[in-house]
A = this chain, B = another copy of it.
Amino acid sequence: MVEDQTVEIAEIFHLLGDPTRLGIVTCCLDKPRNVGEIAATVGVSASLVSHHLRLLKAARLVRAERRGKQVYYATADEHVDRILKDMIEHVAEPHREDA
């Protein structure tokens, strides 16, 4: 694999590698959520959510859309959805325990 590709992929993984940030993204998996909703669901301040959303948006992992006073965030595309759903599946399956 190419060096640049590795760095690019690592950046994506890195963003998804923080529990708070991952919670934020998965919160937006089903349907668009506004910052307040996300903050309440994940259980952190709106400020923190906003900080994280900025990074996620810059990396094209989420999309933003303003509706009146609120800004709604959704996962950017089906790629992101699949990556997350695959990983959720992966973890859901039983682990192989060695003796």
Contacts and interface: CB of A to CB of B under 8 A. Distances in A.
A9 interface: yes
B19 A16 contact: no
A58 interface: no
A87 B90 CA distance: 14
A95 B79 CA distance: 11
A13 B10 CA distance: 9
A79 B88 CA distance: 11
A12 B22 CA distance: 11
A22 to B, nearest CB: 5
Nearest to A90: B79
A60 interface: yes
